[in-house]
A and B are shown apart, each in its own frame.
Chain A
Amino acid sequence: AQTVTQSQPEMSVQEAETVTLSCTYDTSESNYYLFWYKQPPSRQMILVIRQEAYKQQNATENRFSVNFQKAAKSFSLKISDSQLGDTAMYFCAFMGAFNAGNMLTFGGGTRLMVKP
């Protein structure tokens, strides 16, 4: 079974600055996917970014980028030019490439507060 760990329960950042959220995982699988989901106060789960383990290049989506270190089993999320709307819970998630049902394993979450 795989596990996902987010070691920072809460973080804060000043508007316009950069913040990095940490995520580590444990798995015996060689091929898998990693995700970051955002959950604003509305409770909606929003996919921010995803990474395929077989791709060495780090994924980027506008102000969001990841640092994927496969050997270290680390998958951190960097948010550049933080905005007030980035205030939310952020969840790191794992999905094995061959898992029937596309089930996700989530970390415990990091609550991010962006301060004006």
Chain B
Amino acid sequence: NAGVTQTPKFQVLKTGQSMTLQCAQDMNHEYMSWYRQDPGMGLRLIHYSVGAGITDQGEVPNGYNVSRSTTEDFPLRLLSAAPSQTSVYFCASSRGVGAFFGQGTRLTVV
């Protein structure tokens, strides 16, 4: 039972570099989303998708891009990494009420 799989689990980037965080789910869920977790702020929504080809911005979208070409995959792209993007990133998927989360990616931008 894979559920929601995120890769990588850890990453260090230099300021200005770009990278893609991968997220895949095998539950045929319509909805997928990306959150970032920062101390004292809980998880905040970056982008979300209600189905293949449909994405929208969340609370903190600046500096991130997403696309959803298939039901299973929802990658998050950092265009030009900044130290303010140092965080733990979670991908989630859902169909009904509640969400299933991946194990998170700890990203450090130096």
A contacts, CB < 8 Å to B: 4, 6, 9, 33, 35, 42-45, 47, 50, 52, 91, 95, 100-109
Contacts and interface: CB of A to CB of B under 8 A. Distances in A.
B101 A44 contact: yes
Interface in B54-82: 56, 58
Contact of B42 (A35, A42, A100, A106): A106
A43 B97 contact: no
Interface on chain B toward A: helix, strand, loop, or mixed SS?
strand
B99 interface: yes
Contacts of B88: 43
A104 B97 CA distance: 10
B40 A106 contact: no
A50 B96 CA distance: 13
Contacts of B90: 45
Contacts of B5: none
Nearest to B29: A102
B110 to A, nearest CB: 21
Interface on chain A toward B: helix, strand, loop, or mixed SS?
loop
Contact of A47 (B40, B42, B98, B103): B98
Interface in B14-66: 31, 33, 35, 40-45, 48-50, 56, 58
A101 B96 CA distance: 10
5 contacts: A43-B104, A45-B90, A47-B98, A50-B98, A103-B33
A45 B101 contact: yes
B33 A101 contact: yes
Given A43-B88, A50-B98, A101 B42 contact: no
Interface in B80-108: 88, 90, 92, 94, 96-99, 101, 103-104, 106
Nearest to A9: B40
